[in-house]
Every structure is written in C-alpha cells, then in structure tokens.
Amino acid sequence: MIRVADFVNALSLRTLSPSTKTEWPIEQADTNRPGLQLAGHFDYFAQERPQVIGKAEMAYLDSMNSEKRLERLKAFFSYNIPCVIICRGMMPHEELLELAREHDVPVYQTDVNTSRFSMNAIIYMREALAPRATVHGVLMDVYGVGVLITGRSSVGKSEAALELIKRGHQLVADDVVDIWQVSDEQVRGEAPEMVRHLMEIRGLGIIDIKAMFGIGSVLMRKTISMVIHLEKWDEQKEYDRMGLTDEYTELMGVKLPCITMPVKPGRNMAIIIEVAARNYSLKQSGYSAAQELDRRTNEMIQQRMNQNG
C-alpha cells in the first residue's frame, strides 16, 4: 500500500481535486502514461498504476472537441485508477476534473517535466513498497562505507560507534535498524523515527548524538555495504589471521561481506572498524592485502625452488 499523504508530500504535488482515499493498493513501483487509453485502446491498460499526463497526452486532449473528449475520459475513469498527475504545471480540462470528483480519483499537479516526475515517483514507490525488516545493531557511515555492527547485548556496539562518531564518522541508527531491500544487490537502513539520532550508553543513559556532536555526526539512511559482528574473545576459538577467505551473511536475501571481530579489554574496536572499512574499499577497487602477501610468498617459494633446481 502507498499512503496518499506521503506520496503527495514526497513528490511536492499540488492537489487539484481531492479524494476520500488515504491509501492506494499499488503493488508495482511504476507509472503509466495513458496515451493509448485516451485514444480508445484499453488492452493491457496498467490501471493499477498512477496515471501521468504529460505534454503529448494534454495536446491530444486539446485536439478533441468537448463531446469526444468527455467520451474518452468517461471510458478512462471507468477503470479503478489510483490517481492522475498533470505534469509541467499544465491545467486539466474541466471534464477531467468533474469525472475525477465523480469517481473519487484525486488529481494532482506538478511543475516537473513528465520524464523526471515519473523517475522520481518510481524511486519513491520502490522504497515505499520494498520488503522491510528490523535488525538489532548499529549502522554507521565509516569513510563512506555503510557498516552494520552486530553482536549480543553489552558486547560494546554502542561504545565502538560512539568512538567512531568522535573520530568524525556518522551515526545512522543505534540498537534498532529498519532495513529494506532496494534492489537484488542493495539493502538500505535507517533509524525508527522514535529513536532517530539517539544512542543508549550503559551507565550513562540516552544521549542525543545530533545535539551533542552536530548535524554532521548523523545521517538519515545508508546503504549497508558490510556487516561486522562483535563477539567476546574466546581463547578456544581460532580466528582468521590472514583474510584469504571471505565470509558472507544475508540480509533480506542480499549477500553481504561479514567479518567476525573478537572483543577484549584494551582492544580499540573503533580503529579496527575503520581499518575494516578502508580494507573493504580497497577490495572493491581490486586490491587485497592478503592476496598480495600470498602472491609474494608464492614468488619467494618459486625463486628458492629455481635456485635449488
């Protein structure tokens, strides 16, 4: 469902004809330009989408006499369409507004050209209709990399995030992160409105990061690029010391790099998370320090074998 008020506010629409509906049962993030429908062709009519009227459609309506225009618009409004948006600041014909009121279909106006409006509407609906979930963790922007810090309660997620904020990085969400799937390869996260920009520090209570560190210390939302899982140091466990094998986890069906970091007193987790973010960026550009060490080792072994050969 798309909430009408959110759609209107997000796309800065002016209401030309209101409606009693508060939600639309839209299932697909797309719009429809009803040129063929205004010409009388209703096969494969995407009636469930917002109907966008641009310069071409308006010029075609202008070319008709009042009687024919009314006939075509009656057929158009006989379908259960969610809304009509008039682009380029154009004013619709009175017949269109009358039929819209009769069928309880809202009509909006925007000064944006048709192609740009359709693109903006699709982007908004894609996010609004995206599958959503809630995860426990802290989401940070570290050197431009969206880092989701997870781990059990009291392991030190918020403390590490607070140190990162002091070092100039940005908080997106603490403790509760709302996530949604933007595409097959992207998951985005933000904080619930109730706790946005707030952080809980055990023994200190709730602090307001935005008020304390300034507007530059927070971010509304961020695409999650990697997951760092904090856990208490286990002497019996063998931790990865080379990094030759990448580990992954899934969020909403999207595969993301995941690093398990052991926590113990004296270990500065903020600096390690910074290094992990920088290392991720290096890997994205095609460079891996572990693979470089492996290459050098193999070269040295090959040289010694040749010398002894």
> Whole-angstrom Cα distance, residue 262 to residue 259?
10
> Whole-angstrom Cα distance, residue 239 to residue 243?
10
- CA angle 275/281/282 to nearest 5° reads 85
The yes-or-no answer on residue 241 being catalytic is yes
Task: Please report how the helices 66-77 and 55-62 are oriented relative to each other, as an axis angle in degrees rounded to 10.
Answer: 130
> Whole-angstrom Cα distance, residue 2 to residue 234?
48
Instruction: Determine how many CB atoms are found less than 10 A away from the CB of residue 204.
Output: 10
Exactly one of 136, 264, 278, 296 is catalytic; name it.
Answer: 136
Exactly one of 49, 157, 188, 229 is catalytic; name it.
Answer: 157
- CA angle 272/278/271 to nearest 5° reads 20
- CA angle 196/26/17 to nearest 5° reads 90
CA 67 to mean position of chain CA atoms: 46
3-class secondary structure, 255:
strand
Contact present, 197 and 173 (Cβ < 8 Å): no
The yes-or-no answer on residue 175 being catalytic is yes
Contact present, 223 and 187 (Cβ < 8 Å): yes
73 burial (CB, 10 Å; 0-12 / 13-18 / 19+) is buried
Exactly one of 43, 184, 237, 241 is catalytic; name it.
Answer: 241
Exactly one of 88, 126, 175, 283 is catalytic; name it.
Answer: 175
| Catalytic residue list | 136, 157, 175, 241
